[in-house]
Amino acid sequence: MRKLKARIQTSSRDIYETLSSPVYWLAYPQFLKSQLIRENQALCPKSSDYFIHSNENKMRKNCLARAMDYILLHNNETFDAATVRTIHQLICRGTDVPGGAMRTRPVDLSSLNIEVPQFNEIYERMDNVYYTLAQPSNDPLRTALQIHYEIVSIQPFADFNKRTARTIMNGYLIQNGLTPIFFSEPGDREMYIDAIKNKNQKSYYEQIFLEVMRRTQNNIENRLLQIAAAGRQRRK
């Protein structure tokens, strides 16, 4: 795990140095948004099928894109309660889910081996999440993974909790100069659910997320190489 983390952190620095070019800064946000949309299709196939032949499809893509734009625009700001609620509002805009409002009904996640707190415990549990987000971390990668799991476990909102948790996780990773994590390939849904379900098994949850992080990083590097090759071709 240490070797993998070292490679991820080293390559991430290389990526961000390369992104100092305006050309790459234009391409990188588009890449992130495309990955976010692909992740939604991979992890939420039922909703993707529902949206695919309607105007809802464009709306859903726009909501995910706006959430990523918000993350990038506020990259230097600390994540707090208002930030988390705003991101949730952006993700569920146009649906019947009350954006940013805490849930008031019980949730059963026993299928994921999670005991979800009652709604009267949500605020205290989320305060702990906000506190963790606001503190400097010696291991931001592990902190990001823990924050993701905490939000999934708390289920603070009526719906779109996992999507919100992944967005917050990726925003925190980007903020700390690390590669985001996108479960965007066929078969990732089962792997993602399995990682959450087996969180208490030693290192299993982290290893799954780290492997997907490495794949995302490879995708970013390949995209940058494509842009560089296209630039060279235009200059010929």
- Please report, in tens digits, the pLDDT of each residue of the chain (236 residues total): 555 455 455 455 555 454 445 455 567 788 888 888 889 889 987 654 444 444 455 555 678 788 888 988 888 888 999 999 999 999 988 888 999 999 999 999 999 999 999 989 999 999 999 999 999 999 999 999 999 999 999 999 999 999 999 999 999 998 888 889 999 999 999 999 999 999 998 789 999 999 999 898 888 878 777 777 776 777 76
pLDDT at 179: 86
Q: What is the Cα–Cα distance from 63 to 75, expressed in whole angstroms?
A: 18
Q: What is the Cα–Cα distance from 193 to 211, expressed in whole angstroms?
A: 15
How far CA 200 is from CA of 183, 190, 192, 196, in Å, comes to 20, 17, 14, 9
Report residue 181 as tokens.
Answer: 């994590």
Report residue 51 as tokens.
Answer: 């949206």
Report residue 9 as tokens.
Answer: 């952190």
Domain 2-97+108-226 annotated CATH 1.10.3290.10: yes
Q: What is the Cα–Cα distance from 79 to 197, expressed in whole angstroms?
A: 26
pLDDT at 130: 96
pLDDT at 20: 46
Helices assigned H by DSSP within 99-203: 122-134, 140-154, 161-175, 188-197
Q: What is the Cα–Cα distance from 128 to 139, expressed in whole angstroms?
A: 17
| 65 within 8 A of 89, measured Cβ to Cβ | no
Crossing angle between the packed helical segments 161-175 and 140-154, to the nearest 10 degrees: 160
Report residue 159 as tokens.
Answer: 């719906």
pLDDT at 76: 84
How far CA 98 is from CA of 38, 40, 139, 159, in Å, comes to 24, 20, 34, 9
Closest CA to 170 of 102, 69, 86, 94: 69
How far CA 72 is from CA of 108, 129, 150, 171, 225, in Å, comes to 33, 21, 23, 8, 22
